[in-house]
Amino acid sequence: MELRKGDSLMTQKTKRTIYIMLISQFLIFLGMSLIFPVEPYIRKEYHLTAFDMGMMSALFALVQFAASPIAGRLSDRWGRKPMMVWGLVMFTVGEFIFAMGQNLFWFDFSRMIDGLSAAMFTPASMALAADITTEQQRAKVIGWLSAAFSGGLILGPGLGGILANISYKFPFWIAGILGVISILVTVIWLPKDDEHDLKAHAQMAEEYRSASSWEQLKQIMSPALMMLCVMILIAAFGLAGFESIYSLYVNQVHGFDLNQIATVLTLNGVLSLILQVFLFEWLVDKLKEVGLIRLTYFVAIIGTVMVIYLHHYWLVVFATLLVFEGFDLVRPAITTLMTKLGRDNQGLLNGVNTSLTSVGNVFGPLLSGWLLDVNSLYPYWLVNVFLVIAFLITFSLARQMKRQ
């Protein structure tokens, strides 16, 4: 990754900040995803139920949902770097607690701390990216941050599986060590907020002392931003609902085995990184954010229909990739547009973004899992209904953007 086109306006401090955010974002989500391959071992070792394991994920998302708007607002008030550092500290503590935990209480407590960590780090990092970039540079940088997020989630399960051969708790010790490294890198090399030209941020600090998060949100929430919030929720619900039961669905309906499922997920990971790192900025430049959002929802709708009604292996693989890549592009596109509309309220808005994503991550899997038990077609029918609603909203969003 190199900062090239249009980067002559970037100072060395800005470039260094971006690189450090990319490294930290990658490491924190790499560590968070190490748990996935060792869940069966933890469940067996401690005699936990499937509900217990599901509750761990739900607690993470619920804490992230509740804390993200508050953490985002505090990053507006106290600064991006302090909030990012404390997010990394909480992540490190959470991983070490899981590594040392010997019962369900400590495992749940660890995942709650991890949820708080994500709530503190992610909105602040996205807000800082918006603070220090121009609108022309922003799509590229947010695309890279999304790629770092995806890359961590993609590589984490594989690394966790390898490390689990030593001990099923060993991945969490490694995650904690990665957290310590991230803290040191961020504290030592990430420039302080006042080293950037963040005049708007300094002005906002005074205003936030006399306004609550809700009051401030009501002041800045335009019709266009409200539509974006709805689409964030739909994107999170749709992806979580589609992805959480995907392995079960294709195994039950299309007869995919583990190797075939792994092939699909690996192809998705590689393609997602390519799109977000190398093509996202170009797509935004050619289509603009609203056009890209509309296209990605349309592609996801077509892909979901194909997954439901086609049965040839490679056609299902192709359809699956359409859905996943659509979701992987729509999220950074919405975030990029939100940062442009939010102007001086980046922390609060990115906190709302993360919070709404958490709501989708909680209810998407629960509803899809329940519907799958009723009828195998119901989950993806429901996902498609929401995608069609989001697709139609993009036309109203385009009209609002012209008015603004």
The mean-pLDDT minimum among 1-5, 9-13, 136-140, 226-230 falls in: 1-5
pLDDT over 60 (residue 207):
no
Residues 71/351, Cβ–Cβ less than 8 Å: yes
Mean pLDDT of 19-46: 78
pLDDT over 60 (residue 308):
yes
pLDDT over 80 (residue 197):
no
pLDDT greater at residue 305 or residue 73: 305
pLDDT over 80 (residue 147):
no
Mean pLDDT of 246-272: 79
What domains can you pick out in the chain, each with its CATH number?
Answer: 1-210 (1.20.1250.20), 212-404 (1.20.1250.20)
Query: DSSP character for 377?
Result: T
pLDDT over 70 (residue 99):
yes
Mean pLDDT of 144-162: 74
Residues 161/355, Cβ–Cβ less than 8 Å: no
Instruction: Give residue 400's identity as a one-letter amino acid code.
Output: Q
Count of other CB atoms within 10 angstroms of residue 327: 23
pLDDT over 60 (residue 1):
no
> How sure is the predictor about 264, in pLDDT bands with cuts at 50, 70 and 90?
confident
Mean pLDDT of 347-376: 78
Mean pLDDT of 212-233: 74
Predicted local confidence at residue 109, as pLDDT: 94
Q: CA–CA separation, 149 vs 84, rounded Å?
A: 15
pLDDT over 70 (residue 26):
yes
For 346-364, the three-class secondary structure string (H helix, E strand, C coil) is HHHHHHHHHHHHHHHHHHH
Residues 64/355, Cβ–Cβ less than 8 Å: yes
Mean pLDDT of 70-80: 83
Predicted local confidence at residue 21, as pLDDT: 87
Predicted local confidence at residue 87, as pLDDT: 93
pLDDT digits (tens, 9 = 90+) for 342-354: 665 666 676 777 7
pLDDT digits (tens, 9 = 90+) for 27-37: 877 877 777 66
> How sure is the predictor about 201, in pLDDT bands with cuts at 50, 70 and 90?
very low
> How sure is the predictor about 5, in pLDDT bands with cuts at 50, 70 and 90?
very low
DSSP 177-215: HHHHHHHHHHHHHSPPGGGS--HHHHHHHHHHTTS-HHH
Cα–Cα distances (Å) from 176 to 94, 95, 145, 397, in that order, read 8, 5, 21, 42
